[in-house]
Amino acid sequence: MNSSLIHSVASVALLALPLCAQDVLAVKGGKVITMTGAVIDDATVLIENGRILKLGKSADIEVPWTAKVIDATGKTVLPTYVLAHTTGGVRGMNEQMQNVPWISIADALDPANTFFEDCLRNGVGTVHAIPGNQTLLGGSGMVVRPFGRTVEDMAVATSSGLKISLFAQGGGRLQQIRKLHRSLDDVREYLVDFERRKAEFEKEKKAGAIASDKEWTEEYDRQKKPVIDLLQKKIKGWLFVPSAAEVPEAIRLTKELNLVLVLGPNMHKAIDELKALNVPVVLDETIEYFEVDPETQVEQKIATPSLFAAAGIPFALSIGIGGASGYPWWQLATCVRNGVDRQAALKALTTVPAQLLSLDDQLGSLAEGKLGNLQILTGDPLLATTWVETVVLEGMVVYERAKDQRLKYLFAEPKPQGDATTLKEPKDKAEPKDKAEPKDKAEPKDKAEKAPQGGKTGAPAKEGK
Amino acid sequence: MKLPALTLLLLTTALIAQDQTTVYKGARVWPGGGAPIDNAVLVIAHGKVLQLGGPDTQVPDDAVIIDVSGKSITPGLIDAAWNGLAPSDQNEQGSESTPALHALDSVDARSNGFLKARRMGVTAVHVMPGTMNVIGGLSAVVKTFALDPTAMVVRDEAALRIALGAEPSSGNRAIRGGSVDSIYYRRPTTRMGVIWEVRRGFYDAQDYLTQTIEGGKPQPNRDLDVLGRVLQGKLAIITTARSEQDLRTALRLGREFGYTPVIDEAQEAHFVIDELAAAKVWVMCSAPSADRLAGSAGQDGAEPRFSTLPALAEKGIPFVITTGTNPLALDLVREATFAVRFGIPAEKALDAITSDAATLLGVADRIGKLATGKDADLVIWSAEPFDPASQPLFVIIDGNQAPTSR
Q: Is residue B357 part of a domain?
A: yes
Nearest of A343, A340, A238, A348 to residue A285 by alpha carbon: A348
| Share of chain B residues as helix, strand and coil, in percent rounded to the nearest 5 | 30, 25, 45
Sign of the torsion formed by the C-alpha atoms of A453, A458, A461 and A465: negative
Strands A315-316 and A281-282: parallel
- The predicted-structure confidence for A267-310, as pLDDT tens digits, reads as follows 999 999 999 998 999 999 999 998 888 888 888 899 999 999 99
One domain, residues B41 and B108 = no
For residue A2, what pLDDT is reported?
39
| Calpha distance A102→A96 (Å, rounded) | 14
Q: Is residue B394 part of a domain?
A: yes
- The predicted-structure confidence for B342-383, as pLDDT tens digits, reads as follows 999 999 999 999 999 999 999 999 999 999 999 999 999 999
In which band, very low, low, confident or very high, does the pLDDT at A228 lie, cut at 50, 70 and 90? Answer: very high
Considering the entire predicted model, what is its pTM?
A: 0.87
Give the residue-averaged pLDDT of B202-213: 87
In which band, very low, low, confident or very high, does the pLDDT at A365 lie, cut at 50, 70 and 90? Answer: very high
For residue B85, what pLDDT is reported?
86
DSSP E strand stretches across A362-442:
374-377, 388-393, 396-400
One domain, residues B60 and B127 = no
Q: Is residue B270 part of a domain?
A: yes
Q: How many domains does chain B have?
A: 2
DSSP labels, A201-254? HHHHHHHTSS-TT--------TTTHHHHHHHTTSS-EEEEE-SGGGHHHHHHHH
Report the share of chain A in percent with pLDDT over 90. 72
Report the share of chain B in percent with pLDDT over 70. 88
Residues of B in contact with A333 (CB under 8 A): 387-389
Q: Is the pLDDT at A427 greater than 50, yes or no?
A: no
Number of Cβ within 10 Å of residue B15's Cβ equals 13
One domain, residues B18 and B128 = no
In which band, very low, low, confident or very high, does the pLDDT at B183 lie, cut at 50, 70 and 90? Answer: low
Region for residue B337 given its phi and psi (left: phi exceeds 0; alpha: psi -120 to 50; beta: otherwise)? alpha
Q: Is the pLDDT at B292 greater than 90, yes or no?
A: no
Residues of A in contact with B207 (CB under 8 A): 444, 447-448, 451-452
| Calpha distance A372→A374 (Å, rounded) | 6
Give the residue-averaged pLDDT of B319-335: 93
Size of interface A-B (CB pairs under 8 A): 133
Rounded to the nearest 5°, which phi and psi values hold at B386?
A: -100, 10
Out of A424-438, B9-23, B172-186, B301-315, least confident range: A424-438
For residue A442, what pLDDT is reported?
40
**Secondary structure (3-state) at A31:** strand
Report the share of chain A in percent with pLDDT over 70. 84
One domain, residues B33 and B124 = no
For residue B173, what pLDDT is reported?
64
Nearest chain A residue to B406 by CA distance is A298
- Residue B14: alpha-carbon gap to chain centroid: 30
Nearest chain B residue to A299 by CA distance is B405
Helices A427-442 and B244-257 cross at an angle (nearest 10°) of 40
Residues of B in contact with A455 (CB under 8 A): 200, 203-204
Q: Is the pLDDT at B305 greater than 90, yes or no?
A: no
- CA distances to A284, B10, B123, B125, B204 from B376, rounded to whole Å, are 40, 21, 10, 16, 44
Give the residue-averaged pLDDT of B68-76: 97
Q: Is the pLDDT at B260 greater than 90, yes or no?
A: yes
Encode B174-209: b = buried (16+ Cβ within 10 Å), e = exposed.
Answer: eeeeeeeeeeebbbbbebeebbbbbbbbbbbbbbbb
- Closest approach of A443 to chain B, Cα-based (Å): 10
For residue A437, what pLDDT is reported?
41
One domain, residues B93 and B65 = no
Q: Which of residues 340-369 of B touch A (CB under 8 A)?
A: 340-342
**Euclidean distance between the first and the last CA atom of chain A, given in angstroms as a whole number:** 70
Nearest of B67, B6, B78, B61 to residue B370 by alpha carbon: B78
Out of B34-43, B324-333, B392-401, least confident range: B324-333
One domain, residues B6 and B27 = yes
Rounded to whole angstroms, the maximal C-alpha distance in chain A is 117
Are the CB atoms for A304 and A284 separated by under 8 Å?
yes
- CA distances to B186, B203, B225 from A451, rounded to whole Å, are 20, 6, 16
Mean pLDDT of chain A: 85
Outline where B332-388 has alpha helix (H): 332-341, 346-351, 355-361
Give the residue-averaged pLDDT of B244-273: 95
Determine whether the interchain pair A419/B248 forms a contact, defined as Cβ–Cβ distance below 8 Å: yes
| Calpha distance B352→B329 (Å, rounded) | 16
CB within 8 Å of B32: residues ≥ 6 apart: B74, B75, B350, B351, B354, B355, B358, B368, B369, B370
Determine whether the interchain pair B97/A458 forms a contact, defined as Cβ–Cβ distance below 8 Å: yes
Q: Is residue B406 part of a domain?
A: no
| Calpha distance B383→B340 (Å, rounded) | 16
Outline where A71-172 has alpha helix (H): 114-121, 151-154
One domain, residues B211 and B308 = yes
Q: Is the pLDDT at B163 greater than 80, yes or no?
A: yes
Nearest of A271, A263, A87 to residue A165 by alpha carbon: A263
Are the CB atoms for A61 and A362 separated by under 8 Å?
no
The amino acid sitting at A186 is D
- The predicted-structure confidence for B14-36, as pLDDT tens digits, reads as follows 456 667 899 999 999 999 999 99
Determine whether the interchain pair B388/A330 forms a contact, defined as Cβ–Cβ distance below 8 Å: yes
Q: Which of residues 131-160 of B touch A (CB under 8 A)?
A: none
Are the CB atoms for A93 and A132 separated by under 8 Å?
yes
DSSP one-letter code for B76: P
Whether the upstream peptide bond of residue B304 has omega within 30° of 0, thus cis, is no
- CA distances to A89, A239, A314, B21, B257 from B274, rounded to whole Å, are 39, 55, 53, 49, 21
CATH number for the domain spanning B157: value is 3.20.20.140
**Secondary structure (3-state) at A113:** coil
**Secondary structure (3-state) at A170:** coil
Burial class of residue A138 (count of CB atoms within 10 Å of its CB; 0-12, 13-18, 19+): buried
For residue A23, what pLDDT is reported?
81
Q: Which of residues 26-85 of B touch A (CB under 8 A)?
A: none
Determine whether the interchain pair B292/A326 forms a contact, defined as Cβ–Cβ distance below 8 Å: yes
Outline where A320-426 has alpha helix (H): 328-337, 342-347, 351-356, 405-411, 420-424
Rounded to the nearest 5°, which phi and psi values hold at A414?
A: -80, 155
| Calpha distance A166→A257 (Å, rounded) | 14
Determine whether the interchain pair B223/A437 forms a contact, defined as Cβ–Cβ distance below 8 Å: no
One domain, residues B388 and B252 = no
- The predicted-structure confidence for A186-200, as pLDDT tens digits, reads as follows 999 999 999 999 999
Give the residue-averaged pLDDT of B181-207: 84
| Calpha distance B117→A320 (Å, rounded) | 24
Question: In the beta sheet, which residues pair with residue A238?
Answer: A163, A260
| Calpha distance A187→B304 (Å, rounded) | 52
In which band, very low, low, confident or very high, does the pLDDT at B302 lie, cut at 50, 70 and 90? Answer: confident
- The predicted-structure confidence for A399-418, as pLDDT tens digits, reads as follows 999 999 988 888 877 655 54
| Calpha distance A405→A74 (Å, rounded) | 25
Q: Is the pLDDT at A107 greater than 70, yes or no?
A: yes
| Calpha distance B299→B309 (Å, rounded) | 17
Q: Is the pLDDT at A167 greater than 50, yes or no?
A: yes
Q: Is residue B211 part of a domain?
A: yes
DSSP labels, A424-435? HS-HHHHHHHHH
One domain, residues B204 and B134 = yes
The amino acid sitting at A93 is M
Q: Which domain holds residue B49?
A: 2-76+370-401
| Calpha distance A7→A160 (Å, rounded) | 10
Report the share of chain B in percent with pLDDT over 90. 71
Of A434, A444, A448, nearest to B255 by CB-CB distance is A434
Chain A interface mutation, best of B96, B293, B387, B390, highest count of A Cβ atoms under 10 Å: B293
For residue B211, what pLDDT is reported?
79
Residues of B in contact with A434 (CB under 8 A): 255
One domain, residues B82 and B216 = yes
One domain, residues B90 and B167 = yes
**Run of H or E including B273:** helix B273-279
In which band, very low, low, confident or very high, does the pLDDT at B294 lie, cut at 50, 70 and 90? Answer: very low
Q: Is the pLDDT at A387 greater than 70, yes or no?
A: yes
B213 touches chain A (CB under 8 A): no
3-class secondary structure per residue, A125-150: EEEEECCCCCCCEEEEEEEECCCCCC
Q: Is residue B383 part of a domain?
A: yes
In which band, very low, low, confident or very high, does the pLDDT at A170 lie, cut at 50, 70 and 90? Answer: confident
Q: Is residue B26 part of a domain?
A: yes
Q: Is the pLDDT at A8 greater than 50, yes or no?
A: no
In which band, very low, low, confident or very high, does the pLDDT at B90 lie, cut at 50, 70 and 90? Answer: confident
For residue B94, what pLDDT is reported?
80
- Closest approach of A321 to chain B, Cα-based (Å): 8
| Calpha distance B327→B150 (Å, rounded) | 28
Rounded to the nearest 5°, which phi and psi values hold at A162?
A: -110, 140
For residue A298, what pLDDT is reported?
83
Strands A81-86 and B6-7: unpaired
Determine whether the interchain pair B311/A413 forms a contact, defined as Cβ–Cβ distance below 8 Å: yes
Residues of A in contact with B341 (CB under 8 A): 384-385
Q: Is the pLDDT at B13 greater than 50, yes or no?
A: no
Decide which of A53 and A15 is more confident.
Answer: A53
Q: Is the pLDDT at A11 greater than 50, yes or no?
A: no
Determine whether the interchain pair B305/A330 forms a contact, defined as Cβ–Cβ distance below 8 Å: no
One domain, residues B225 and B265 = yes
Nearest of A139, A34, A143 to residue A96 by alpha carbon: A139
- Closest approach of A337 to chain B, Cα-based (Å): 4
**Secondary structure (3-state) at A179:** helix
Strands B122-127 and A124-129: unpaired
Are the CB atoms for B63 and B22 separated by under 8 Å?
yes
Determine whether the interchain pair A441/B257 forms a contact, defined as Cβ–Cβ distance below 8 Å: yes
Decide which of B307 and B183 is more confident.
Answer: B307
Q: Is residue B50 part of a domain?
A: yes
Q: Is the pLDDT at B61 greater than 80, yes or no?
A: yes
CATH number for the domain spanning B376: value is 2.30.40.10
Determine whether the interchain pair B293/A337 forms a contact, defined as Cβ–Cβ distance below 8 Å: no
**Secondary structure (3-state) at B46:** coil
